[in-house]
Amino acid sequence: MAFAAVKHEFEKVGDHWEPKGRKGPSDRQAAGGGPARRAPTAGGVDANATKDHLMEVAKKLDVPGRSRMTKPELVKAIEKANNRQTAKARDKSKGR
């Protein structure tokens, strides 16, 4: 529940969270309300953002092939890039 509240105001970019330009749910799971259910999430990516915004985020993360991606493909590619950067940051903090 708390994670869904965070995703209403912030989106994950790389290994950190940044304020969104607008308030609101980031994906269908966050918009659901009520009891938790097992629906796929976008892992902190603002899947409800415009394609232009997703392109900007993909550019920040240096996602290859982003100019040819559809909106759903961008969401998945950004989520993957975020996961990679988070794993890298965790490894650094553990001294690896």
- Chunked into runs of 10 residues, the chain (96 residues) has average pLDDT values of 75 86 70 58 85 95 96 95 91 75
- Structural domain for 15, as ranges: 2-93
Four-CA torsion 84, 85, 91, 96, nearest 10 degrees: 90
* Residue 14 pLDDT: 87
Our count of domains for the chain comes to 1
pLDDT for 22: 76
pLDDT, position 1? 57
The predicted pLDDT at position 71 comes to 95
Comparing CA positions, the residue from 96, 87, 93 lying closest to residue 15 is 87
Contact 15, 40 (CB under 8 A): no
Taking the model in full, what pTM does it have?
Answer: 0.69
Could you tell me if 52 and 45 are in contact, meaning their C-beta atoms sit under 8 angstroms apart?
no
